Every structure is written in structure tokens, then in C-alpha cells.
Amino acid sequence: MQIFLIILGIVALVMILMYNSLIGKKNQVDNIFAGVDTVLKKRYDLIPNLVASVERYMEHEKGVLENVTALRAQAMKPNLSDDQKIALDTKLSAALGAITVAIENYPELKANENVMHLQRSLSEIEEQISAARRAYNQAVTDLNNAIEMFPTNLIAGWMNLQRRAVFEITIAERQNVNVHELFNR
């Protein structure tokens, strides 16, 4: 009888520990996503300014600019799920990249102090976003691992925890990884 009670106690303790660690991981993901959200908002705030100052020059890239404005409007909507925000961010990054490339073709824009200032702010925020994305991806990977691995997957199923999506790492971020090193290990 006593042995049975001891075993029961140990099992309960392990269950509690696993439950708490899962909750901790889930909260860490939410917590870091709040940080991601903050830097993403910083970028949204810059977009109208950027569009307004390059519009007059960029006759041929009207479509790109409209696309960016539309994406921003979508991203600013309330009640978006995390996954939707992530998907929009990927599209917006690509569209902004297109504008940056286009600016290179306009010497007037490159000489414009206001535009240059905006571009540099954007690239600085871009670095912060990249850091936030990487932190989020790590937290999500931790959570997803716990959801799928034995024995935490049993409790996760009972708690109804869902896998989360990670941010795609953009090509520019990947470039920093030393490919040569990876192949020579």
C-alpha cells in the first residue's frame, strides 16, 4: 500500500513538472511574440513616410508601392492571429526589399536626405526584427519539441496545445551563415 502511494506521488509530481514546463514554454512563446510585435509595429509606422517620399519619383513601381500600403493596412487590422501576422510579415519584407532595390535606380532618391534617413531607420529596425524572429523561432521550436516528444506529448495532447508556425528566415539573413564552414565540417 505504502509503495503504491509513493509511486502515485512520484507520478503526480512528474506530471506537475511536465505541465508547468509546457505552460512555461507556451508563455515564453507568447512573451517573445509580444516583442516581435513591437518591432513590427515600429516598421509599420515608417512605411507611410517612405511611400509618401518616394511616390513622386517612382512612376514605374506604382504597383509595388500600392502593394506595400495594402499589406500594411492588413497588418494593422486588429484581431489577427499570430500565424496571419507571420505570413503578412514575410510578404511585407519582400515588398520592402523590392522598394530598396528600386531606389538604387533613382539617383534623385539616393541624394534625398529624407529617403536615406528612412532607409537607414528601416535597415536598423530590420536588424531588430531579425533578432526578434530568431528568438521567436527558438522559443517555438522548444514548444513544438515538447508537444511532439514523449512523454510531454501526452500531457500536451490533454492540454490541447497546438504546434506554432515559425518565421521563414529571409535570404538576406541566411547569407550571413558561412556556407563554406557548413560543408567542411
Partner 1 sequence: MKSLSELTDFYYKELYPYLEELEKTRNHILSQLKWYGGIGTVFFLIIALWMGKNFGLFHPLMIAVAVGFLLIASIAYRYLIQGYAKDFKNHIITPLIGAIDSHLLYNPDFMISQYLFERSNLFQHSIDRYSGNDYVKGSIDGVPIEFSDIHAEYQTRDSKGRTQWHSLFRGLFLVAEFNKNFKSKTIILPDQAEKTFGNLIGGWLQSINIARGKVIQLDDPVFEKKFVVYGEDPIEARYILSHSMMMRIVEFQKKISHPLFISFVQNHIHIAIGTGKDLFEPTVFKSLLDYKQAMEYIHTLRNTIGIIEELKLNEKLWSKE
Provide the binding-site residues for partner 1, judged by CB under 8 A: 32, 35-36, 120, 124, 127-128, 130-132, 134-135, 137-139, 142, 173, 176-178, 181, 185
Q: Which secondary structure element, helix H or strand E, spans residue 23, and what is its range?
A: helix 2-55
Nearest approach in angstroms of CB 132 to partner 1 is: 5
CB closer to partner 1 out of 67 and 121: 121
Three cell numbers, residue 104: 538604387
CB closer to partner 1 out of 6 and 149: 149
Nearest approach in angstroms of CB 137 to partner 1 is: 7
The Cα 76–Cα 98 span in angstroms is 21
- Name the phi and psi angles at 70, rounded to 5: -65, -45
Nearest approach in angstroms of CB 50 to partner 1 is: 16
DSSP label at residue 112: -
CB closer to partner 1 out of 93 and 95: 93
The Cα 86–Cα 137 span in angstroms is 11
Nearest approach in angstroms of CB 151 to partner 1 is: 16
DSSP label at residue 170: P
